[in-house]
Amino acid sequence: MDSSSQLRARIEQAQEREEQLRRNRERETIDKVFAESEVRFKIGNEQVLSALGTIQFDADGQPMNGGKPLEERLRDYAEINGHAVSGTVEERHDQGKSSVRSRADFASDADRVAYIRAFGDLAYARLPQTTPETRTVEIDALTWTQYIALPDRERARIAGLRGAGFISRLKHAHGEQERNARLAGIPRK
């Protein structure tokens, strides 16, 4: 091997090392963006990057996608693909960290801003204007007539707590009461 071939081989090796170092720096930068992001994904970072497409780096070495900083694109992706995000607004809000159930619960604009910072714009947007009426239902004293008058969500909650057998027993008990009332000659209400 002559000296010019050796020189070319060394230059190629140096270029490969430089390329590998550049890729490592870019990977570390992307990993840092994911680590510092307010968004946490249930799926792997590679899947998110694959869905976003090509990542480019600006003159300052910051990762960009579609002309926007990667952090902003991660938030956009999370908003569109809520199923891929862990700690979604619903999950975070439903963990009981806030007693806010409607926009009417905010005493001041500062409270509203603090809520948005803690749970996000989407959580605030999903809050109803006023707190819906909530009824406490004593499940053990519940009658079939009371049960069928409940909103669907409450009936589903009770069925989930007690099972389908409980609902069947309520319905059966109601039928028995009506049958006994008919046999006793008591008119229906």
Measured distance CA(109)–CA(115) in Å, rounded: 10
Q: Which two tokens stand for residue 113?
A: 């801003």
Rg (CA), the chain: 30
Average pLDDT of span 113-142: 73
Looking at residue 11, its pLDDT comes to 93
Per the DSSP assignment, residues forming a β-bridge with 63 are 57
User: Band of the pLDDT at 137, cuts 50, 70, 90?
Assistant: low
Question: Does the pLDDT value for residue 53 go beyond 80?
Answer: yes
Give the pLDDT score at 100: 75
Highest mean pLDDT among 28-37, 39-48, 74-83: 28-37
Asked whether residue 40 carries a pLDDT value surpassing 90, the answer given is: no
pLDDT digits (tens, 9 = 90+) for 116-130: 888 777 777 777 777
Q: Is the pLDDT of residue 131 over 80?
A: no
Mean pLDDT of the chain: 80
Q: H/E/C letters for each residue in 40-94?
A: EECCCHHHHHHHHCCCEECCCCCEEECCEEHHHHHHHHHHHCHHHEECCHHHHHC
Between vectors from CA 71 to CA 106 and to CA 39, what angle results, nearest 5°? 50
Flag whether the pTM goes above 0.75.
Answer: no
In this model, does residue 189 exceed pLDDT 80? no
What whole-number percentage of the chain has pLDDT above 90?
9
Nearest CA to 159 out of 137, 178, 187, 128 is that of: 137
Q: Which of the residue ranges 104-108, 125-129, 140-144 would you say has the lowest mean pLDDT?
A: 125-129
Instruction: State whether residue 37 is helix, strand or coil.
Output: coil
What is the band of 98 on the pLDDT scale with cuts at 50, 70, 90? low
More confident call, 104 vs 97: 104
The domain segmentation of the chain, as residue ranges, is: 3-85, 89-126, 139-184
Question: Residue 99's closest CA among 80, 119, 81?
Answer: 119
What is the pLDDT averaged over residues 82-94?
57
* In the predicted structure, residue 106 carries a pLDDT above the cut 80: yes
Does the pLDDT value for residue 18 go beyond 90? Answer: yes
